A and B are shown apart, each in its own frame.
Chain A
């Protein structure tokens, strides 16, 4: 963990290219950004990310930052969370959002989709127990709505409740009246988002060219 790549030899990148699928230029770019964020340290801590001004207005800032420190997003089977992440971990998280190319096959696309869903799921499932409980869901919805002004907690709750009931009714249609729907498992999660278009929504075009000049004055720490 925390492998450093401050010395940029293309050979050193090869490993990362294989792992993440980014091109060398993209990795170089991201690395620059990484160093910028970390203040030329080898690792990034939560505080580093917290202080990015651009993120300040993001309603789900907490979840996004959390996702970077979540071991589940590293394509390993580990669970838990990091205190600090190195560049490799940073890249691994970023690699969830690589757009498909024309060569990507249908199966690969399916796998990519699943991966992205898993990423979302992990954002919800903060306690790593494999289900999204109502409380967790409510928290996310509240945060989502928190920036849109005059929406009260009660509404957010009602919406989360409705959403939860929707999940329940889609996945467990024949529920006895006294049954209790514990939470959304990943399978159910997949089920409810089955028809949703992910292709246009969960991709970032990572630039090959360096945009440092555009960025001057915006970065922090």
Chain B
């Protein structure tokens, strides 16, 4: 992504310079030297005869045309400013632990607003209704929809919808009615507000936006149910709120409301909601189906995802049905299939971009919230605003209390009082409310009052509740879920439990979600996957986790070994979540890890490969080998399998040994040969993260020494202590060399005969599998050769055999031979 942008910029620059040169060389005087080649410079009518008059006015050395670039320029500056603010918060970690990021953004916005106000600058006119709904909202919602934890969501979908739909209705109507009652009191001087306007305002106010809360919940790791209910609520009540808002703003214009309108409104409500969902699912499937065929156009693959989701959004908007619902369901539907279809890189890109756009949109909104708070006109009415605050708080609390009482009997795990408190107190108001208030039609007489009241409520909830929720949640000790438990055993047992539950439910003849989940999975595996996924080989979650742990392992090794990879965690943490705010996480999302796995393995290879890949404009570089990581791994395994080290480092790190040795077998056996070559073939690479990528183009001089490397590496595999290699490596390129040297030296440390003894003990009963491995290797190799007849350097030819032979002994773990 990054690289494409930078190349794009580079291209622009080239165009720019070229056009300047051209203009200059022709001796023309462009009246307004322009920035890019996109627009033709306005040419004077007498331009063809320009040569004679060229001397009349000298070539302007420096000109400026600000109005031309004003809008994009200002947008860029705003985005940059907001992003800088975000960077700033994370310089000092402790702030973001105690103060939610949204608070900080608003504060910065307030400061900027104050500055602008003092110089009488106009606030940015960005927040018009259209801009918000067409450009700012979709990324935010897509972000939440795409990163929605699917399983808990579907397990709690009833509760989520219950709170989102009924809860929002409850809040809107409750607050609206009570405010209307307040309006009847003459002392406040707001009698001119009618019921419709109050309801409209109440709708705005009841849109809960728990971004800040979610990050707290995540850090504290509250139980899954609470988390997902808050998450889902914020998503779907956006939808409900927007529907209600449209309805009420329609109604607010009408002089009288007839009962028919109420019923029509209800009917419309369902049309809007279900229609949005329908479009979402439709577009989701279409997107998934499309990605089935994108294997040849990897570089534009991610685009489909964005275009389809945006299309879903726009089409829904076209029919005036819930566009939020549409984009969320679209993201939910396609995510699963798309991520299987697209390459790892595209997958990374998609996640990355979704996150990036989402967080930028959100940052901007909070930022503008701060700015607008200062610069906009306010109408302060103590009574109305204070009561708004009070009602917003009270109705939320009451709503949760009542609604949980109703929903609890239907839940397997009921919400207890603490959960209810978390739900109620998590009801912060945020971006949506603000944007809706700000885009209120001007026909509403007391718009400034509404804006002021909304901003007050947002500021109050975000600052007071947002800051206090963490200590409170920690204090009342809400039930926690350990979401980061990824051991193989845990995964196996999760699956075991799922199947047990499904089985027991079958046995006792009642079907709740385990049953339906089971049914859906079957349907999914039999039909949907076949249609939507190119390579419809279902992958067990256990296997996935196994690979992931293996990757984690590799990551740890690389972290300690090579500076080259140090960039990897940073990408992950970026797209992992904007909510990671406070502490850097040790563990990553499963899918992230999975994608990192492949990224990593390829990147490792590329360190050496980079000179060989030259690509055309529309094709992506090709790397057909992903083995070096394994080689490195073997050396580390050897080190770790040494009896001494097994004992000494066994404490916290010991759990990682298990995944190493069998790793190769997974890689080669789980992926059918086509798959191997297919994943290898799309080396778009998240070139974002790897500084080394540049040198592929810029340092051809290295090629010769690089070409030597593979041979050397093979030597290490043959257990020849290879200190010269590392010296050479070090001399050759800074980081890479250092990384390798460390591996090698640690390897040569471990060059101890001890392990052999253990291997041989069990070697005989594994001969057959050794053969297996070799076959698979060769198969894979042949596949690759077919695909890329030219690319594999000869130095690699010998390697597979080496791999399989050296690695097989490693597979035998002496510690716990099965009782035979």
A residues contacting B by CB (< 8 A) are 29-30, 33, 36-37, 49, 52, 54-55, 57-61, 63-64, 67-68, 94, 97, 99-102, 120, 123, 133-135, 138, 140-141, 144-145, 148-152, 154-155, 158-159, 161-170, 173-182, 192-193, 195-207, 211, 214-215, 218-219
How distant is the Cα of A196 from the Cα of B248 in the complex, in angstroms? 46
Contact assessment for B669 and A192 in the assembled complex, using a CB-CB cutoff below 8 Å? no
Least CB distance, A88 to chain B, in whole angstroms:
15
Determine whether the beta carbon of B507 is less than 8 Å from that of A37: yes
- Contact yes or no, B503 A193, CB < 8 A: no
CA separation between A197 and B16, bound complex, in Å?
Answer: 59
Q: Find B815's partner among A49, A165, A173 (CB 8 Å cutoff).
A: A165
Contact digits for B730-770, partner A, Cβ 8 Å, 1 yes 0 no? 00000000000000000000000010001000000000010
Say whether B509 contacts A211, CB under 8 Å. yes
Q: A54-B506, A169-B657, A200-B412 are in contact. Are A144 and B496 (CB under 8 A)?
A: yes
Sort A-B residue pairs by CB-CB distance and give the 10 closest, nearest first. Answer: A177-B643, A165-B658, A195-B482, A54-B506, A64-B503, A169-B654, A158-B662, A148-B540, A33-B509, A162-B658
A192–B482 CB distance below 8 A: no
For the complex, give the distance between the alpha carbons of A44 and B503 in Å.
16
- Per-residue A-contact encoding for B499-514, CB less than 8 Å = 1, 0 else: 1111111111111101
A residues less than 8 Å from B414 (CB atoms): 101-102
Nearest neighbor of B811 in chain A, beta-carbon distance: A158
Distance in angstroms from B778 CB to nearest chain A CB is 17
Q: Is the CB of B504 within 8 A of A64?
A: yes
Asked if residues B506 and A55 are in contact (CB atoms below 8 Å), the reply is yes
Check B627 for interface membership: any CB of A closer than 8 A: no
In this assembly, does B377 line the interface, its C-beta being within 8 Å of a C-beta of chain A?
A: no
Q: Would you give the shortest CB distance from A220 to chain B, in whole angstroms?
A: 11
Q: A163 contacts which of B492, B506, B666 (Cβ < 8 Å)?
A: B492
**Bound state CA distance, A140 and B493, in angstroms?**
10
Q: How large is the interface on B (under 10, 10 to 19, 20 to 34, 35 or more residues)?
A: 35 or more
A165 touches B413 (CB 8 A): no
Stretch at the interface among B174-182, B232-240, B483-491: B483-491
Q: Are A193 and B490 in contact (CB under 8 A)?
A: yes
- What 0/1 readout, one digit per residue, does chain B (803-819) give for beta carbons within 8 Å of chain A? 00000000101111111
CA distance A49 to B506 in the complex (A): 10
A161→B658 contact, CB < 8 A: yes
B655 touches A166 (CB 8 A): yes
How long is the Cα–Cα vector from A112 to B646 in the complex, in angstroms?
A: 37
> A195 contacts B485, CB within 8 Å?
yes
Cβ of B494 within 8 Å of any chain A Cβ, yes or no, is yes
CA distance in complex: A175, B541 (Å): 30
Further pairs besides A148-B539, A195-B485, A218-B509: 15, Cβ < 8 Å:
A55-B503, A57-B522, A58-B506, A94-B504, A99-B412, A120-B497, A144-B542, A155-B543, A158-B662, A159-B546, A169-B650, A177-B815, A198-B497, A199-B413, A204-B505
Bound-state Cα–Cα, A207 to B481, Å = 26
Q: How far is the CA of A57 from the CA of B526 in the complex (A)?
A: 13
CB distance from A152 to the nearest CB of B (A): 6
In chain B between 526 and 545, which residues have their CB closer than 8 angstroms to a CB of chain A?
537-540, 542-543
Known: A64-B503, A99-B413. A155 touches B665 (CB 8 A): yes
Query: Once the chains are docked, how many angstroms separate the CA of A203 from the CA of B412?
Result: 7
B482 near A197: Cβ-Cβ < 8 Å: yes
- Nearest to B812 among chain A residues (CB) is A161
Instruction: Pick the most buried of B509, B510, B659, B670: most chain A CB atoms within 10 A of its CB.
Output: B509
In the complex, how many angstroms separate the beta carbon of B406 from the nearest chain A beta carbon? Answer: 14
Closest to A177 in B: B643
Residue pair B493, A193 in contact (C-beta under 8 Å) = yes
Set of chain A residues within 8 Å of B413, measured between Cβ atoms: 99-100, 199-200, 203
Task: Given A100-B413, A158-B665, A201-B494, answer yes or no on A192-B487 (Cβ-Cβ < 8 Å).
Answer: yes
B616-667 with Cβ < 8 A to chain A: 643, 646-647, 650-651, 654-655, 657-659, 662, 665-666
**B537 pairs with A150, CB closer than 8 A:** yes
Give the distance in Å from the alpha carbon of A140 to the alpha carbon of B500 in the complex. 12
Answer whether A169 and B658 are a contact pair too, CB < 8 Å, given A192-B489, A204-B505: yes
A49 to B543, CA, bound (A): 30
Q: Indicate whether B495 reaches chain A with its CB closer than 8 angstroms.
A: yes
CB of B672 within 8 A of CB of A97, answer no
| A167 cross-chain contacts in B, Cβ below 8 A | 489
Q: Which residues of B contact A161 (CB under 8 A)?
A: 658, 662, 813
- Residue B224 at the A interface, CB < 8 A? yes
Other-chain contact of A60, B496, B508, B518, B522 (Cβ < 8 Å) = B496
